[in-house]
Structure 1
Amino acid sequence: MRKNPPKKFKKTKHKIAQDSGASVTPTQKAILDTLKYRQIFDCPMLYHQIWSYLISSKPVSEKDFKTSLNDLVEDKKVLCKDAWYSLNKVDYERVEKRKKHAEKLIVQANGVVKYLKHLPWLEMMAVTGSVAAFNADEQSDIDLLIVTKPQRLFLSRLFVVLILKLLGVYWYSQKPAGTICPNILLTSDNLAWDEKNRNIYVANEISLLYPLFSHHNCYFDFLKHNAWVTHYLTNLHIPDYKSQPPAKSDFLGKLTDLIELAVMKIQMLYMKNKKTTEIVSKNLVHFNTHDSASVILNKFEMR
């Protein structure tokens, strides 16, 4: 698969390196960038996490990585406590509390998914955001990315929303804590992320996906179609495998196509006057009312 060249990172000065008056190597800069990014979310990192999610467009040897990290700790540019690495002091009780709350929300999501995964048009359902990163607070909701079969997105969304509402867990803006928000839906023939929206933020979100179920290797197919993330996260492993061919459409399938078209038109008409920054098309629905990507990327560049 042809990979698009990575977007160049903006050159930013690291306060921690600047204050010390010392220069850093490319590998040290990658480590600092990685910790700096997670610092936005108040997340310290373990050794294997820094290695796995290292923000770098070029390969780094593990020997160089280990030496560079140790040097940064010795130079007091990186803090290390109980195997956790960070750029500043961290409230570890808070970190553990958020981790446990995220685990609780994932258990809750699995309890709901057992009803959803039997819908015939769903290919994959995965948790995203703070819950997938095991960094959820008491006000966190459960964001879901859902992949459907081609030409079944709006039928799938209709039934997913109905089931979530019947179970009393559908997202509610006035009281979002613990609710489920299916905010990204895409079809299995449209898995590659839009090129103009590819960045460090999206790469990290994809790398942290927590699959709740996946049919026909859909999760791995999603990663394969988004292998561009390795231009930002050089150590991320994308499994190599053969995609399963889609099932052929029959008469019943063609009839369902017509129902899908009608349901799509009704939902689009309903959304028309309420639409702000949301993306709605026949093979993608992305409710991004609050543009987290821009906020996070701005914070990352400013640090």
Structure 2
Amino acid sequence: MSQLPQSRQATLEQAIWRTLAYVDLFDYPLTAVEIHRYLDGVVATLHDVRQVLTSRSVLAAQVSCLHGFYCLAGREEVVALRQMRQQTSQKLWAEARRYGNIIAQLPFVHMVAVTGSLAMSNVIDKADIDYFIVTENGRLWLTRALIVGVVRWAARRGILLCPNYFVSESALGLADQTIYTAREIAQMVPLSGLPTYQRLRQQNQWVLNFLPNADGPPQVLAAESQPKRWLQAVTELPLRTPLGTWLEQWEQARKIAKLTLEQTVSEESCFTAVMCKGHFQAHQKRTLRAYQNRITKPFNPKGNSEV
């Protein structure tokens, strides 16, 4: 096996360490394939990543490998944690697909994708199912109101749905260009509307600046082409009228006013005619701050960096 040039080796070592430092914030180790996909800011082949991971390099003092999972040295307990959460996630995936398919049949829904911790199969008991939803232009708030009905129905069965990110087809390009948002996009798993998902990725090519090896979905659960269901087409007809337009404008004005008042702490939410981003807990801000605190500390070849 030919050795990588020293400068290339050092670049990959630091990128791998940054990648593992990020996921460690979520108690989540990675396989070599996952490290390659989510490698922080460096184009690489899986072969090169594997070579660095298995070489006698300065990275060996920083990273542990257990049962095929890589984590920061001293954090080996996250491997068992991931395995336990993966079992919990399998049960929730069935519900995510069930309700995702129901949502996909509602009027004006063009794409449904799972995001958040479930997208990585890293959930705890009684976790929410986060959805990213793309709607037809001019019907976002009306569509959201219909989906809220599904959310309430699921809650009666003890299933917590959280469709917390809606965008219309005209707003697929996201302005929030951070490693956090890049990871959310790269990790999302489309359940329906694969062509719309592909347009979403195309209009957010900036994601590849952060994660250059993470092109396309991590897994495909949506069909390549999904013809519009007859029920969706029929239920859209009465809403493609002046009455439907009036309902959209009424619901939009009502909910934007209400949700804006509820946004007391987080600056991450956004409520407009083409977007409803209900991120009230400032999770992104906390994650980015913690990540920056880690990667600004020196890469220590003699042992695990303090994190």
TM-score class normalised by the smaller sequence: 0.7 to 0.9
Cα distance, 1:67–1:28 mapped onto 2, change above 3 Å = same
Residues of 2 paired with 1:252 and 1:218: CA distance?
22
Equivalent runs, 1:127-138 vs 2, <5 Å: 127-138=114-125
Q: Which runs of 4+ in 1 moved over 6 A?
A: 249-252
Q: CA deviation at 1:49?
A: 0.4
The partner residue of 1:113 within 83, 93, 100 is: 100
Report whether the alignment pairs 1:294 with 2:285.
yes
Q: Which amino acid aligns with 2:72?
A: L
For these two proteins, the number of residue pairs brought into alignment is: 264
Q: CA deviation at 1:143?
A: 1.2
Q: Which amino acid aligns with 1:35?
A: L
Q: Which amino acid aligns with 1:222?
A: L
Equivalent runs, 1:189-208 vs 2, <5 Å: 189-194=170-175, 197-208=176-187
Q: CA deviation at 1:37?
A: 0.7
Equivalent runs, 1:221-232 vs 2, <5 Å: 221-232=199-210
Residues of 2 paired with 1:270 and 1:59: CA distance?
44
User: What is residue 16 of structure 1 aligned with on the other side?
Assistant: none
The partner residue of 1:261 within 249, 252, 273 is: 249
Q: CA deviation at 1:83?
A: 1.4
User: What is residue 111 of structure 2 aligned with on the other side?
Assistant: 124
TM-score, normalised to structure 1, is 0.79
Equivalent runs, 1:55-70 vs 2, <5 Å: 55-56=40-41, 58-70=42-54
Cα distance, 1:182–1:31 mapped onto 2, change above 3 Å = same
Q: Which amino acid aligns with 2:186?
A: S
Structure 1: tracts of 5 or more residues without a match:
1-23, 171-176, 240-248
Secondary structure in 2 aligned to 1:273? Answer: helix
User: What is residue 17 of structure 2 aligned with on the other side?
Assistant: 32
TM-score, normalised to structure 2, is 0.78
Q: CA deviation at 1:152?
A: 0.7
Secondary structure in 2 aligned to 1:75? Answer: helix
Q: Which amino acid aligns with 1:100?
A: Q
User: What is residue 19 of structure 1 aligned with on the other side?
Assistant: none
Q: CA deviation at 1:272?
A: 4.4
Residues of 2 paired with 1:260 and 1:185: CA distance?
14
Q: Are the counterparts in 1 of residues 103 and 147 from structure 2 also a CA contact under 8 Å?
A: yes
Cα distance, 1:38–1:116 mapped onto 2, change above 3 Å = same
Residues of 2 paired with 1:115 and 1:294: CA distance?
32
Q: Which amino acid aligns with 2:99?
A: V
Cα distance, 1:118–1:29 mapped onto 2, change above 3 Å = same
Q: Are the counterparts in 1 of residues 186 and 215 from structure 2 also a CA contact under 8 Å?
A: no
Residues of 2 paired with 1:49 and 1:219: CA distance?
21
Residues of 2 paired with 1:64 and 1:120: CA distance?
47
Q: Are the counterparts in 2 of residues 127 and 145 from structure 1 also a CA contact under 8 Å?
A: yes
Equivalent runs, 1:75-154 vs 2, <5 Å: 75-88=60-73, 89-91=75-77, 92-154=79-141
Q: Are the counterparts in 2 of residues 185 and 285 from structure 1 also a CA contact under 8 Å?
A: yes
RMSD, aligned α-carbons:
2.7
Report whether the alignment pairs 1:187 with 2:178.
no
Q: Are the counterparts in 1 of residues 110 and 135 from structure 2 also a CA contact under 8 Å?
A: yes
Residues of 2 paired with 1:145 and 1:257: CA distance?
23
Q: Are the counterparts in 2 of residues 78 and 85 from structure 1 also a CA contact under 8 Å?
A: yes
Residues of 2 paired with 1:90 and 1:161: CA distance?
40
Residues of 1 paired with 2:40 and 2:291: CA distance?
12
Q: Are the counterparts in 2 of residues 183 and 286 from structure 1 also a CA contact under 8 Å?
A: yes
Structure 2: tracts of 5 or more residues without a match:
1-8, 218-235, 295-307
Equivalent runs, 1:205-224 vs 2, <5 Å: 205-214=184-193, 217-224=195-202
Q: Are the counterparts in 2 of residues 102 and 132 from structure 1 also a CA contact under 8 Å?
A: no
Deviation sequence 1:113-163 (CA, Å, 0-9, x none): 332221120011111111111110124211111110001100101100012
Deviation sequence 1:226-271 (CA, Å, 0-9, x none): 11110001111249xxxxxxxxx99973522233112212222333
Q: Are the counterparts in 1 of residues 101 and 192 from structure 2 also a CA contact under 8 Å?
A: no
Cα distance, 1:119–1:46 mapped onto 2, change above 3 Å = same
Residues of 1 paired with 2:139 and 2:168: CA distance?
8
Cα distance, 1:238–1:97 mapped onto 2, change above 3 Å = closer
Q: Are the counterparts in 1 of residues 64 and 76 from structure 2 also a CA contact under 8 Å?
A: no
Percent of residue pairs bearing the same amino acid type = 25
